[in-house]
A = this chain, B = another copy of it.
Amino acid sequence: MTIGGRTSPTLDEVAELAGVSRATVSRVINDSPRVSPEAREAVHSAVAQLRYVPNRMARSLVTRRTDTIALVLSESNSQVFTDPFFASMVRELSARLSDTDRALVLLAARDRGEQEKVGRWVRQGHVDGVVLVSLHRDDLLPGLLRESNVPLVLLGRPLDGAAVSHVDTDNAAGAATATAYLVAAGRRRIATVTGPLDMIAGVDRYAGYRRGLADAGLPLREELVEDGDFTEAGGARAMRALLERAPDLDAVFVASDPMAVGALRALHDAGRTVPGDVAVVGFDDAVVAATSDPPLTTVAQPLDEMTRLMVELLLRQVEGDADEPEVRICDTRLVVRASA
């Protein structure tokens, strides 16, 4: 194989140098047990001498595996990158897959054109499986990938209720718990900054907020609901809108920590104290939640466990042990700090 003008060695060359057959070299490379110590040794030194690296394409052509997994971000907003939740997930995913000697690659699909392109790329057989995150209602990718029969796991349940393996948190329960906590603290004019309502996490957390109000016998007030976009700037903007429309609010459930940080800033700028005037609860338990001023009370989701489960479900499909789509729902936990 030629890269940059130099030719890389092949199995045959290694075999010749080691004085064995191609099959034996292949056995050594793949750690097959039945090889004599002498042959193994000869091959290893030939490999080292030639700086031999197996050609992945040739190998994959016969094994039908690439040992690489794709994490696909279906997000028009390049701000996803900015979300610490996402950064942590990448780290954890990558570590988990390393344990199985598989590589992780990230693909971003910003618009329909890129989604189709990514779909094609995946169908061509570049990867053994796909983890799909940050899904919006009109995403093409779940459909494209499902019909291409590539092993697939979603983060968050599919908006259309399709039968696909996925891992999710009980967002609604978490949001309801957060709202109940605010009620129990004596708050009565509880506002919310929602996530994007074309994403399942946005929808479910908003539903949980409503359930929390209903459970407490409180009415849902339109002026206390403002849509956000999961970014800090969006959270600040939404908070300002809420303050303008309902200056007497005494609490706010914010559907993500970055937005909650923005809300904190907007409240501070408006001269409100937290939690004195307004109690704030966030969602995610991002790193920033512990360092904000005041530290955020927030709904934590077990990100590491979720990542572990995604890898588990995906690898089961990759290994061929998967029969039916599987679903795992994780519990949330309210982390009480100073903001509420």
Interface centre among A98, A106, A150 (most CB of B within 10 A): A106
Q: Which of chain B's residues have a CB closer than 8 A to the CB of A121?
A: 68, 103
Q: Give chain A's interface residue range (CB within 8 Å of chain B).
A: 35 or more
Flag whether A90 is at the interface (Cβ < 8 A): yes
Contacts of A151 in B (CB 8 A): 3-4
Hey, what's the 0/1 contact readout for A101-112 against B, CB within 8 Å counting as 1? 001111110100
User: Which residues of chain B come closer than 8 Å to A66, judged between CB atoms?
Assistant: 57, 126
The reply to whether A61 and B64 form a contact with Cβ atoms under 8 Å apart is: no
Residues of B within 8 A of A124 (CB): 53-56
Shortest A33–chain B CB gap in Å is 23
Partner of A87, one of B81, B117, B123, B317: B81
Cβ-based interface call for A149 (8 A): yes
Q: How far is the CA of A150 from the CA of B124 in the complex (A)?
A: 23
Q: Are B103 and A106 in contact (CB under 8 A)?
A: no
Instruction: Determine whether A94 belongs to the interface, using a CB cutoff of 8 Å to chain B.
Output: yes
A134 at the interface (CB under 8 A from B): no
Q: Which A residues between 1 and 52 are near B, CB-CB below 8 angstroms? A: 1-6
Contact partner, A91, options B6, B70, B78, Cβ 8 Å? B78
- Which A residues are closer than 8 A to B by beta carbons? 1-6, 53-58, 60-61, 64, 66, 68, 70, 78-79, 81-82, 84, 86-88, 90-91, 94, 98, 103-108, 110, 113-114, 117-118, 120-121, 123-126, 148-151, 233, 291, 317, 320
Apart from A6-B149, A55-B61, A66-B126, list 8 A-B contacts with CB within 8 A: A5-B149, A55-B125, A57-B60, A57-B125, A78-B91, A90-B108, A94-B114, A103-B121
| 13 examples of A-B residue contacts, CB within 8 angstroms | A3-B151, A4-B150, A6-B149, A55-B61, A68-B121, A68-B126, A82-B82, A91-B108, A94-B108, A98-B113, A103-B117, A104-B107, A104-B108
